[in-house]
Amino acid sequence: MTPTPARYLETGEDADLPVVDAHHHIWDLEANHHPWLSEEPPPPFRYGDPRPLRRPYLPADYRQDSAGQNIVATVYMEAEHDPTDPIHETRWVHAIAAREGLPQAMAGAVFLDHEDAGAIVREQASFPLVRSLRHKPKGVARPEEFHAGHRIPGSMRCPQWRAGYRHLADSRLFFELQTPWWHLDDALELARDFPATLIVLNHLGLPADRSATGLAAWRAAMARLSEAPNLAVKLSGICVPGQVWTPALNAWVVREAIGLFGAQRCMWASNFPVDGLVSGFAEILSAMRCITADLSRVDRLAIFHGTARATYGL
């Protein structure tokens, strides 16, 4: 049973709970080119119109949003910067971190199906803050379009994409995966074929369909994925457009994921400023604390701090 907000507030156990934000963005649209934040028409976006995000979002903005939340470290996630120069974003983030003291680690970009994937992996690995790389694989838009034998170009089953992925095993970097749940069997195959490479699943496999049928299918896919030991999960990015982030809305999804993967493989993240389109930082983090209030202190420390700290070497 999900604990009530009243019980959560009465415990007083959160006052000293340290939090690592394992996935957030910053950007300066004058200094850097992010096509999805600048070009017209904007691309399809799961939270609706992305135009409200077309403003500077720098460490000062992040600190304002996260004020009072005992954030002790953060991880920058690549923000779909200009694909012709992924290293530019990495250099910019390092300059920001040196000046502002935030972030303490980052996930850089790579395009695994490009000919230069190996060179980009090696160059990204040379930067001190880079721990992981992300490239959103191609896929189908709806679960009914998926078939297990696909070879979609740019997908996790694409030979060229996999050729790029192989370079991760030779680096110290792991992989950040953002894909909808109906492609999680592809991810399971990838994890088994490359057991030395950790995969961190972003945003819980995007359980956007909250119907009983949709949630059952999501859980089944997550259960299969949890069988691979080289998988971790970010408890983030599960906003529902038009609805405030509340325990009532998201508790089942979060608790099922924790039950399947265990607290030692789960980590909280804000996905700010993107999730700020739907709810405030404090609302999201407070609701997550509420959802987990009846877990042990050890498990809560793992979810909000320890898993991310170990994963990103903080």
> How big is the chain, counted in residues?
314
Higher pLDDT: 43 or 77? It is 77
Q: In Å, how far are 84, 137, 179 from 158, measured between CA atoms? A: 21, 9, 15
- Residue spans of the domains in the chain: they are 5-312
Q: Each residue of 101-133: b (16+ CB within 10 Å) or e? A: ebbbbbbbbbbbbbeebbebbebbbeeebbbbb
Tens digits of per-residue pLDDT, 43-59? 888 898 899 999 999 99
Name the amino acid, one letter, at 92: W
Mean pLDDT of the chain: 93
User: How much is the pLDDT for 4?
Assistant: 34
Helices 212-225 and 184-193 pack at an angle, to 10 degrees, of 0
User: How much is the pLDDT for 214?
Assistant: 97
pTM: 0.94
Residues 6+ apart with CB under 8 A from 147: none
Whether the per-residue pLDDT at 1 is higher than 60: the answer is: no
Tens digits of per-residue pLDDT, 249-268? 999 999 999 999 999 999 99
Tens digits of per-residue pLDDT, 100-130? 999 999 999 999 999 999 999 999 999 999 9
Q: Give the model's confidence band at 16: pLDDT under 50 very low, under 70 low, under 90 confident, else very high.
A: confident
User: How much is the pLDDT for 186?
Assistant: 97
Q: What is the CATH number of domain 5-312?
A: 3.20.20.140
d(CA 40, CA 43): 8
Q: Average of pLDDT values for 62-69?
A: 96
How many other CB atoms sit within 10 Å of the CB of residue 76? 28
How many alpha carbons lie under 13 Å from residue 134 in its C-beta half-sphere?
A: 20
User: How much is the pLDDT for 15?
Assistant: 64
User: How much is the pLDDT for 2?
Assistant: 33
